[in-house]
Each structure stands twice: as structure tokens, then as C-alpha cells.
Amino acid sequence: MSKLEEMKEEKSYRKYKRYGKILYFISKIINRTINMKVIIESDDYNEKNNYLYGFWHGSIFLPMVNMTKNGKKIANLVSPSKDGEIIATMLEMYGYELVRGSSNKNNVRSLVKLIKMVKNGYSGGFAVDGPRGPIYKVKQGIVYTAQKTGIEIVPLAGVFKNKWRFNSWDSFQFPKPFTKAIYIIGKPIKIEKDISVEEGIKLVEERLIELNKKADMMS
């Protein structure tokens, strides 16, 4: 890459970072107007424990604004792409630690870094069908991390009664002011080491689909 191309790339990243800052402040304002009902699905969940939180990429809003409220240390996997810079900026401003990379097992470096952080007391956040889809298909990363660390997976579902839905691969949802919202913290899932990654993926996928259907019915 030439020096000129590098400068153009850096300028483009700065632009997306600005978008992220703008969306952060908008999200803070709108979040204050939301009438949100939080449902903890199981007594097995203890917010003081560290977990691997899994949610759909297009439904990141409610997990993003809620998970660090109690000062919990959470590291999120975020795409290193320019589009990912928007979400990365917002997450950083909400108090998350960032690990730039894919939620696919094949992106070894980012997963190794996240696994080390989880072993040192962090929870992990995964937009499980990201960074590029296909939509509602769980990638290997969260299951692989669960098996390597022994940490349980907590599925998260969030829906809004009134929202804007972006024309993007993940059908991203952004709430309208004063809407009602349902945010469900699911029952922790233990991924045993003796099952295949594919079996673990199927389990997490089924629970997320089930939770989001439940949230939709309640909204």
C-alpha cells in the first residue's frame, strides 16, 4: 500500500470513528427514554460471575447499553473493518475492552487474546453471527472459548416495540425514542469439552432463536 493509500485509509477510519461517537451520544439520549423490562430467565445466573455473553449482531444495542452498568469488566470481539470502527467506538465509550478480530475460530490471534482476558477475570462479549454473517448463524468462536476456559455462555435477547431497522446484512435494530423494550438474560449454558464445536454451535443457536422469539412475543 502506498503512502497516499495509507493516508486515505486512515482518513476513512477517522470518519467511521466520528460516526461511532455521534451514535454513542444519540444512543445515550434515546436509552434514557426507553421503557425497558429486564427478565432474568434463571436463578442460575449471577451477575457477579464472569460469562461469555452471546447475542445477534443486529441486536447489539440492549446488551451494549446494559452489560457494563454495574462496572463489570467485559471484553468484546469487534471486527477490524471500517464498519466495525463504528461499533468499536461506541463500545469503548460504554466502557468495554476491545479485541479486534472475528468471532470465527480461525482468527486465532484475537481468540487467544480474549481467552487470556477471560481467564484473568473478564467476561467476554460475542456478536455471534458477526462480523459478516450469515445472519442468525453462530460462529465457532464463542463455543471454542467456552471449551477452552470452562466459562458458561449466557444468551442475550433484546427487542424494541418501535425501532428503525437498517438495510444491512444483520438487519440492525435501533430503538425509536420512548419505545418499550424487552431484554432477556438467558439461562447459562455449559459447553462440555467432550462435545463437538458443531454441537455447541447448534445448542447456542437454538437458545438464541428461542429467546428472541420469546422477547418478540412479549414486546
Nine cell digits for residue 3: 503512502
Environment class of 155 (CB within 10 Å of its CB; exposed 0-12, middle 13-18, buried 19+): buried
Please count the other Cβ atoms lying within 10 Å of the Cβ belonging to residue 121. Answer: 8
Give the residue from 69, 215, 92 showing the smallest Cα distance to 156.
Answer: 215
| Cβ(171)–Cβ(183) below 8 Å | no
Contacts of 87 (CB under 8 A, 6+ apart): 20, 60, 78, 79
Q: How many domains are contained in the chain?
A: 1
Q: What is the pLDDT of residues 65-123, one digit of tens each?
A: 999 988 889 999 888 887 789 999 999 999 999 998 766 655 788 899 999 999 999 99
Distance (Å) of CA 5 to CA 82, 121, 165, 201:
15, 40, 33, 39
Predicted pLDDT of residue 8 = 67
Name the average pLDDT for the chain.
92
Tell me what pLDDT residue 105 has. Answer: 56
CA distances from 78 to 42, 120, 140, 188 (A): 28, 20, 15, 23
Q: What is the grid cell recorded at 55? A: 447475542
* Contacts of 105 by beta carbon, 8 Å cutoff, 6+ apart: 111, 139, 140, 141, 144, 197
Q: Residue 69 has what pLDDT? A: 86
Rounded to whole angstroms, the Cα distance separating 85 from 53 reads 21
**Structural domain span for residue 150:** 3-218
Q: Which residue, 67, 82, 83, 54, is CA-closest to 145?
A: 54
Q: What gap in Å lies between CA 23 and CA 36, rounded to an integer? A: 20
Strands 180-185 and 35-40: parallel
First to last CA, the chain: 49
What are the pLDDT digits (tens) for 183-219? 999 999 999 999 999 999 999 999 999 999 999 999 8
Q: What φ, ψ does residue 20 adopt, rounded to 5°? A: -60, -40
CA distance 112 to 77: 11
This prediction has a pTM of 0.92
CATH code, domain with 107: 3.40.1130
